[in-house]
Amino acid sequence: MIKVDRLTFSYSKNPFIQDMSFSVSEGEIFGFLGPSGAGKSTLQKILLGMLPNYQGSAVVNGTECKKHSSDFYESIGVDFEFSTMYEKLTARENLRFFSSLYHRQTQSIDELLQMVGLQNDAQKRVSEYSKGMKSRLNFVKALLHDPKLLFLDEPTSGLDPTNSRLMKDMILAEKSRGKTILLTTHNMQDATEICDRVAFIVGGQIFAMDSPHNLIMSRGAASVTYTWFDNGEQTASCLLEQISEDQQLQRLIRENRLQSIHSSEPTLNDIFMEITGRTLV
């Protein structure tokens, strides 16, 4: 669905994105992960045909991005990083206006508003919306024409835990309807939960690309930590893959003396730091 080959792009004289290649298959949720300024939004804008001065190739849904015609947007939905609504119009007026821009029949505005819990705020001007309400409205704007490809820039940013959960469930529901989704995030937890594959991006470069599970497993060994009483509480740990070789643990198990035992794996955040030498903020 998306194929990027040797992509190079610069805002100034110095190349920012250099020689980047990756592809995204149909039905996949692919995440760009990286700190602020890494180039996540820039990459999305290139793929949306908004920054045509690139070298190399970026093909989205069969079209080279810089050569797209207006039909290109009939099958692509975008939820930008910042709200793109007319503040003086109500939510319903905004969605009606954006619906009118598509050739195809768009989805029911009332159903979309209901889906994100904004049915009672449909007549409110967007200027009176809170940040989280705007995020949800921008998300359903991207779904209006039921596009097969969705570009979501920081879809969970600024949402409270309940709305963040709702957003992630809606993204997964779109995936289950066969959509291809490309999203950006700083949030490793969200990425681990919903992305099939992620690319770690820092300074316009991809440092790693794989499923969150593979990235975690390939780099970090899971460990087991256990406690028992012996003149006060004692703690020890060993690698999960060497658990049968830990004589002390085996003895404690045989004697039923364990107070607690748990295994832990590194998080995607740990792996990001290990690979890129950077944190996500």
Ligand X SMILES: Nc1ncnc2c1ncn2[C@@H]1O[C@H](COP(=O)(O)OP(=O)(O)OP(=O)(O)O)[C@@H](O)[C@H]1O
Q: Tell me which of 39, 49, 77, 147 binds ligand X, using CB under 6 A.
A: 39
CB 44 within 8 A of CB 184: yes
Residue 186: CB minimum distance to ligand X, A: 6
Part in contact with ligand X (CB under 6 A); list of ranges 21-29, 35-43, 127-135, 167-175:
35-43
Q: How far apart are the first and last CA of the chain?
A: 30
Query: Which CB, 19 or 246, lies closer to ligand X?
Result: 19
Q: Which of residues 88-107 bind ligand X (CB under 6 A)?
A: none
Part in contact with ligand X (CB under 6 A); list of ranges 32-40, 118-126, 138-146, 188-196:
32-40
Q: Does 31 bind ligand X (CB under 6 A)?
A: no
Query: Which CB, 151 or 228, lies closer to Mg ion?
Result: 151
Q: Does 52 bind ligand X (CB under 6 A)?
A: no
Q: How many residues touch ligand X (CB under 6 A)?
A: 11
Q: Does 37 bind ligand X (CB under 6 A)?
A: yes
Q: Tell me which of 28, 81, 93, 146 binds ligand X, using CB under 6 A.
A: 81
Burial of 130 (0-12, 13-18, 19+ CB in 10 A): exposed
Bridge partner residues of 183 (DSSP): 31, 152
Residue 225: CB minimum distance to ligand X, A: 34
The neighbour count for residue 80, using CB atoms within 10 Å, is 17
Instruction: Map tokens 């810089």 to a residue.
Output: 66
Binding site for ligand X (CB under 6 A): 11, 16, 34, 36-42, 81
